[in-house]
Structure 1
Amino acid sequence: MSTQKTVRREAGTVEENALRLDQGKAEQIVEALNQDLAASYVLYHQLRKHHWNVEGAEFNDLHEFLGDRAEEAEDAADDIAERAQALGGIPVSGPAALAEHSHVDFEGEDVYDIRTSLENDREMYGDVIESVREHVALAEDLGDYATSELLRDVLEDLEDAAHEVDHYLEDDTLVLETATN
């Protein structure tokens, strides 16, 4: 634990920024970014969980795919956090704050079959996509075009990943089910 006796900046505050974005607008955008940051970390942890626990004939492909998507979610979280900080905000970071700010819920600690896991991922991707899309529009409306552009890049990666998950869930496969008697 830190021995520092004074808090330099209180969590949840937004100070003036060098980007010359009005503080009231920056506060709205930082709040939205913190929601997306928290959701990105929830998505990251769920994808990482599935990466660790995947089994079966398609293990190698899915293990790699889920690991790559988890890294993508973590990279997005880092970009979002750095933008929130540049706008004078304090990015949410602790487990309690992430849970409080996230609009998506982690599926839990239980391990499910890979199809169920991927269905849960697809659902979470959809929820995160909807939120990021709303925040792109918010940033545009408030004149923060750089945040809008950053979120557009994040949105494109999220949509690509959701589309790929959807492909994994199709019923066309080379793996044949065997009847057990």
Structure 2
Amino acid sequence: MEETQEHVRREFGTVEENELRLDVEKSEQVINALNQDLADTYVLYHQLKKHHWNVEGAEFRDLHLFLGDAAEHAEEAADELAERAQALGGTPVSSGKALQEHASIEPEDEDVYDIRTSLQHDLELYGDIIESLRDHIELTENLGDHASAQILREIIVEVEEDAHHVEHYLEDDTLVLD
């Protein structure tokens, strides 16, 4: 029988020197911001998937496809955020408990709502995430981490675009009769 030995390579919350030459104190601040963004992004991802799975009605197909695409955008953003945190010498949040502890936003509960209410909940999350991303872009710029700022800028463009689409779905103009 082969013997295995468990060895922690990097304890969560610690920051190591990195090859990107951003000092540890600055890296720690950036990693904390990235981990919050990562946790927030996963909250959004799961809520979008919930709505993707539960959408019904005349606009089912279009909304189902949009919500699936928006969830994919969130998943891609999460990957970018996690990889950047790791590159800076940190450990990205990953467990459900850690994600919940680091998230600055609250998802809706487990109930299934009408699609208009669901999209309003999504738009609230998008707005909170956009504000946070703006703050973190400014933080990373001020710390001299221009690459993290650029990654966050690319993410915010996608987030704002998806939020704008949700806003359009919530407009009053529709072909569906009451």
TM-score category (smaller protein): over 0.9
In structure 2, the residue matched to 1:104 is 105
Number of the residue aligned with 1:118: 119
Deviant stretches of 4+, over 6 Å: none
Which residues in structure 2 correspond to 1:18-37 (within 5 Å)? 18-37=19-38
Structure 2 residue aligned with 1:16: 17
Residue 83 of structure 2 is matched in structure 1 by: 82
Counting aligned pairs with the same residue, the percent is 67
Q: Which amino acid aligns with 1:141?
A: N
Q: For the residues of structure 1 that align with 2:168 and 2:91, how far apart are their CA atoms?
A: 37
Q: 1:144 offset after TM fit, Å?
A: 0.3
Q: Deviations over 1:81-103 (max 9, x none)?
A: 00000000000000000000000
Alignment of 1:1-181 (within 5 A): 4-177=5-178
Amino acid at match of 1:116: T
Please tell me the root mean square deviation across aligned C-alpha atoms, in Å: 0.7
Query: Which secondary structure does the structure 1 equivalent of 2:11 belong to?
Result: coil
Per-residue CA deviations over 1:42-79 (Å, capped at 9, x if unaligned) read: 00000000000000000000000000000000000000
Listed as ranges, the gaps of 5+ residues in structure 2 are none
After superposing the two structures, state which structure 1 stretch, 8-17 or 47-56, moved more.
8-17
Runs of 5+ unmatched residues, structure 1: none
- CA change 1:59–1:36 in 2 (3 A) is same
Aligned residue-pair number: 175
